[in-house]
Structure 1
Amino acid sequence: MQDLKNEFPALQGQTYLNTASSGLLSRSTYLWRKEHDLDFINNGVDFKFRKQIPEDTRAAVARFFNAQLDEVALVPNFSFGFNIILEGLPKGQKVLMLKNDYPSLLWPVETRDFNVCYAEINEHLEDTISAAFEKYCPDVFVFSLVQWLSGVKIDLSFIKHLKEKYPNVLLMADATQYLGTEQFNFSESGLDVMGGSCYKWMLAGFGNGIMLVKKDAQAKVYPSMIGFNSADTFDSKAEETTFIKHFEPGHQDTFNYGSLHQAILQAEKVSVEKISAKIKDISAYAKGHFIELGLLDKTTKNRKIHSSIFNLKGDMELFKKLAANTIICSPRGGGIRVSFHYYNELEDVDALVHTLSKK
């Protein structure tokens, strides 16, 4: 694996355990961004070239997540794309959600004309969801693949089984805390819709995200967003707009979507298999130490499947102590959230544990 401290300068002089808040920008992506704007300054806009950047990014996203090109929408962030989806759903549908899921999931649903019901997030999450399906018979299930507060990760094989059992229920996932952490096959998954912002684990910087929508699901959603670029030419008719292009009205941000393309190329160069293996190793190593120190709640401690995000028992005094020791993390949900990506090392866990153990 490449020299990560050189590739990610922010790793130098601090222990960065905050990818769940924002991933780091790599030197390689920064250099591409610099060249992109230098070309703009020196040469002006070549619209033919600029129009190709989002299309190259779309192709990279489709390849990276094994989706079809016409299932991939490029959006500024998850919230933007998710709201477009919800606006295209028939009113009054019963939507099952998870209590205390991310606000960008909860608020857009709760403030619209849907019949909302909830399942609890606990150590038996999959069983709890199954029971909620039997009790509520939802039309739509909306959830995060990885929980932002606790790092609880849903079993993807369970989601596939759920889709097989309830083929008519739309399964819609926020994957912001998941994208880029392991290999994922959208076509073979149980998900109908998967979206995410790419500034966290994808390491693509701000202003870019994706929405993947399977063909069968496209027939159940009627997005109304439209504008130039939604159609092929000035002479096109509005009604000729394809499903995916409803998510991309107006001129597209080549700087940010190009950054996502570069981030994907970098992940492929490192290899997603190696990224996933390293994240799992660090996560298991960290979890063992956190259990020994009594820092995890019952849900995180007892689940076999977990991400590399942990919410540790601790107050603001402890958070300030970590910050004073140049350990970068976030106060979240009454605890301290730490997260480990492939640019982290076991030594970062050791540094954290050493500071946590000091009186």
Structure 2
Amino acid sequence: MNVEQFRQQFPFIKNGIIYFNHASTAPVSLAVRERITELLKEKSETKIDDYFSFLKVYEETKILLSELINANPDRIAFLDNTSNGLNILATGIDWKSGDRILLNDIEFPANVYPFLNLEKFDVQVDFVKSKNGIVSAEDIIANVKPQTKLISVSFVQFLSGYKIELEKLGNFCRQNNIIISVDGIQGIGAMNFDVQKFKIDFLSCGTQKWLFGAQGLAFIYLTEELQRKLNPAYVGWLSVEDAWNLLDYKMNLKKSANVYQGGTLNSLGIYIFNTSLKLLKDFGFDRIEERVISNTKYIRKKLNEMGIKSLLDEVDEKFYSGITTFKVDNAEKLFKHLEEEKIVCSLREGFIRLSPHFYNTFEDIDVVVKSIRKFITNKD
């Protein structure tokens, strides 16, 4: 599949809409729409209770996802959102009084509150102070204390788009017996991600952004070693090995990550995710990042030509992701102006955030830049 073929999956493009908001919510593809229409037809007319067909899709989806992040499928579990994934980690560790968790002051709240909630157990949460909207791997390492038991960080920072050096941080944590947890939602699907290479202990990631999944479906990955140390805070009927022996009631918990899938899964979300992962694989998982970064560099170049600086203009390109964020006077009015011109982006913390994906083109970017220039010229 080439870029033009992928673009044909989105009718909004023909309607003149330019979608630069993948850091918020992904658009629905024709393939997903057709698969869900087909599924609903089956559920209403013929295959009403077809669990075993779903089971095949579920297993295939885990295999596709495992290829994307270089993980064993047994180390992956499906959940409902990123926050609950992180809560599995936060509530599963045997915390001792005085243990410390290291976060930073520009994390999305989903990667903060599950850990702040542990302060009632006398667990200390430390925050690394950002510098110019950036928290680097070096900044985090420099703030580690002897009692630091866990570090949790976003792969890509939601506002600036800064992509942290996970390999450096993961190696440090592995060497110092510190658990490293990653919120992957703003990077996975746009940036290459390898749990083995980065030495990730725990990962939580919603599917509704760069992965073209649905709201209400997320996944976690965790190492076998870490899982052996965790105590599941809650279990369900599907958490045990012989789940279909319904009246046995033996607490023989699964050794795979499936132990965290305690009950009914979001089957609709998994069908959607399955379809989207197939589309991404058809294009080529390994081809996506290069195009995303190419778009990012082009956007920043064009903004700079207008005298607009993004939050990451001064950093090395290796820290770039699919997010470009900048500030102008009357950002709210610019946001509304772009909306009127059928350009979809985000307004976050007084900043305009642009997040095109790999199928967006330089021509799309030129239209967006022209619209921004028009706003600035008229304002002046």
Give the TM bin, normalised by the shorter chain. over 0.9
Query: Do the aligned residues in 2 keep the contact of 1:18 with 1:329 (CA within 8 Å)?
Result: yes
Q: Take 1:274 and 1:245, find their aligned partners in 2: how far apart are those partners?
A: 30
Query: Do the aligned residues in 2 keep the contact of 1:225 with 1:246 (CA within 8 Å)?
Result: no
The equivalent position to 1:97 in structure 2, one of 75, 83, 103, is: 103
1:111 maps to 117
* 1:52–1:77 Cα change, 3 Å: same
1:147 maps to 157
Superposition deviation, residue 137 in structure 1 = 4.8
Q: Take 2:147 and 2:306, find their aligned partners in 1: how far apart are those partners?
A: 42
The equivalent position to 2:35 in structure 1, one of 16, 32, 54, is: 32
The normalised TM-score by structure 1 is 0.93
* 1:356–1:140 Cα change, 3 Å: same
* 1:294–1:152 Cα change, 3 Å: farther
Q: Take 2:84 and 2:205, find their aligned partners in 1: how far apart are those partners?
A: 10
Q: Take 1:230 and 1:219, find their aligned partners in 2: how far apart are those partners?
A: 15
Q: Take 1:99 and 1:88, find their aligned partners in 2: how far apart are those partners?
A: 24
Given residue 336 of structure 1, which amino acid in structure 2 is its aligned partner?
I
Superposition deviation, residue 183 in structure 1 = 3.0
Q: Take 1:106 and 1:42, find their aligned partners in 2: how far apart are those partners?
A: 45
1:219 maps to 228
Superposition deviation, residue 297 in structure 1 = 5.1
Q: Take 1:17 and 1:254, find their aligned partners in 2: how far apart are those partners?
A: 28
Any stretches of 5+ residues in structure 1 without a counterpart? none
2:270 maps to 257
Deviations 1:265-315 (A, max 9, x none): 111100012222211111111122233334335655334321120111132
The equivalent position to 1:271 in structure 2, one of 261, 265, 284, is: 284
Deviations 1:233-270 (A, max 9, x none): 22362233335233211122221112111111111100
Is residue 309 of structure 2 the alignment partner of residue 306 of structure 1? no
The normalised TM-score by structure 2 is 0.88
2:189 maps to 180
1:42-81 matches, cutoff 5 A: 42-43=45-46, 44-81=48-85
Any stretches of 5+ residues in structure 2 without a counterpart? none
Superposition deviation, residue 201 in structure 1 = 0.3
Q: Take 2:34 and 2:356, find their aligned partners in 1: how far apart are those partners?
A: 25
Superposition deviation, residue 7 in structure 1 = 0.6
Given residue 266 of structure 1, which amino acid in structure 2 is its aligned partner?
L
Deviations 1:30-59 (A, max 9, x none): 211111221111121122223333222222
* 1:355–1:74 Cα change, 3 Å: same
My pick for the range that moved more, 137-146 or 52-61, is 52-61
Q: Secondary structure at the match of 2:229?
A: coil
1:6 maps to 8
Is residue 169 of structure 2 the alignment partner of residue 159 of structure 1? yes
1:355 maps to 371
Query: Do the aligned residues in 2 keep the contact of 1:88 with 1:221 (CA within 8 Å)?
Result: yes
Superposition deviation, residue 224 in structure 1 = 2.3
Q: Take 1:343 and 1:331, find their aligned partners in 2: how far apart are those partners?
A: 22
* 1:112–1:300 Cα change, 3 Å: farther
Is residue 335 of structure 2 the alignment partner of residue 329 of structure 1? no
Query: Do the aligned residues in 1 keep the contact of 2:79 with 2:265 (CA within 8 Å)?
Result: no
Identical amino acids, percent of aligned pairs: 23
Query: Do the aligned residues in 2 keep the contact of 1:81 with 1:247 (CA within 8 Å)?
Result: no
Given residue 17 of structure 1, which amino acid in structure 2 is its aligned partner?
F
Q: Take 1:319 and 1:298, find their aligned partners in 2: how far apart are those partners?
A: 17
* 1:357–1:261 Cα change, 3 Å: same
Q: Take 2:196 and 2:167, find their aligned partners in 1: how far apart are those partners?
A: 14
Q: Secondary structure at the match of 1:96?
A: strand
Query: Do the aligned residues in 2 keep the contact of 1:99 with 1:119 (CA within 8 Å)?
Result: yes
Number of residue equivalences: 357
